[in-house]
Amino acid sequence: MNNRRNFLKSILAGGAASSGLATAAFGRNFDQPVPKKPEGATRILHITDLHIRPEHKAPERCKRLLQSALKQAGHVDMVFNGGDSIYAADYKNIKRERVLEQWKVWDDYVAAPLKGHKMVSALGNHDMWWATEKTDKMYGKPYVLQRLKQKDRYMGFDLGKWRVLVLDCNNGGLLDKEQEAWYFKEIKEHKDKPLVILSHQPIMMGGSLLGKGMSERQKELVNPLVEAKVEARPVHFVSGHIHVRDELAYKNVHFHCNGSVSGYWWEYMDSPGKDNSYEGTPMGYTIIDLHDDGSYHSHYHNATDAKDGKLLG
């Protein structure tokens, strides 16, 4: 929790947005019904920060949430999993048995409802287990990819008329050199296609692209995509990590940080006098519609029960 708060404070340090920059206010109404899928659109279900674990009825609640999301979304062309799939494997005190326990819950209560749907995952900072020898088959990123049934930690592919990039930002500062070289090659080779870029950590949120709220590494990744022309190709970064819904736009580049499936944390659902929201964003999921003309529509929805429409209990 402290890491998330510190990240949020640091990325907001730039203060108010500069001219041409827009950011969404917190605390908006997330109870609107899921719109019917537009004809010809590619529909994505974005789930992030599930933090699945055995405690606090999280398995059953998460399964019900996913079933509700899929039912309300209708036909989903792809699921974007934004990372932090399990509660936490990255702390020094986490034992092998705890890591295995969490991934078993993932298999039984998350992977099962999503079976039959195409899914791509970004690695979250809490997913990797480091408290073991490097020679251990469960050490680090390869084991997480194995559990997610995914070959690569970063990748690019076509989805309809769009190019999708999936990033691994768990490298002590966004992208490692190998991935960064691949990234610049991708955005150059596919310059005629609209882009949607999935990562766990936000590349940018709620700060200024032109001010001190943006690091040199962030500028290096974003600036080659910014174009002044009205007809410039659309670029949409999609992330999680902060558990807060925030949107930022500058010229043709847009940043969507979506709320989490787990809300503040699962245990807050059982805390008297507290709701399971973080900084005004309730637990939930996001429906994204990609259109062939390059337009992008995103709808964040409060978590509801598929049976009676009430908030998960």
Q: Domain for residue 10, yes or no? A: no
> Into how many domains does the chain fold?
1
Does residue 178 lie within any of the structural domains?
Answer: yes
57: domain CATH number is 3.60.21.10
Q: State residue 28's pLDDT score.
A: 53
pLDDT at 227: 86
Q: What's the pLDDT score for residue 113?
A: 93
Q: Are strands 42-47 and 284-290 parallel, antiparallel or unpaired?
A: antiparallel
Which pLDDT does position 97 carry in this prediction? 98
pLDDT in tens, the chain (313 residues): 545 544 444 433 332 232 233 333 334 566 677 888 889 999 999 999 999 999 999 999 999 999 999 998 999 999 999 999 999 999 999 999 999 999 999 999 999 999 999 999 999 999 999 999 999 999 999 999 999 999 999 999 999 999 999 999 999 888 999 999 999 999 999 999 999 999 999 998 764 444 445 678 788 898 899 887 767 899 999 999 999 998 988 889 999 999 999 999 999 888 877 778 888 899 999 999 999 999 999 999 988 655 555 667 6
For the beta carbon of residue 214, count every other beta carbon within 10 angstroms.
19
According to DSSP, the residues that pair with 156 across neighbouring strands are 165
Residue 114 lies in a domain: yes
Is 21 among the domain residues? no
Task: Please check whether residue 30 lies inside any domain of the structure.
Answer: no
Q: Range of 161's domain?
A: 42-302
Is 62 a member of any domain?
yes
24, burial (CB in 10 Å: exposed 0-12, middle 13-18, buried 19+): middle
Give the per-residue pLDDT at 15: 29
Distance linking the first and last C-alpha atoms of the chain: 23
Contacts (Cβ under 8 Å, ≥6 apart) of 121: 81, 82, 83, 85, 148, 150, 166
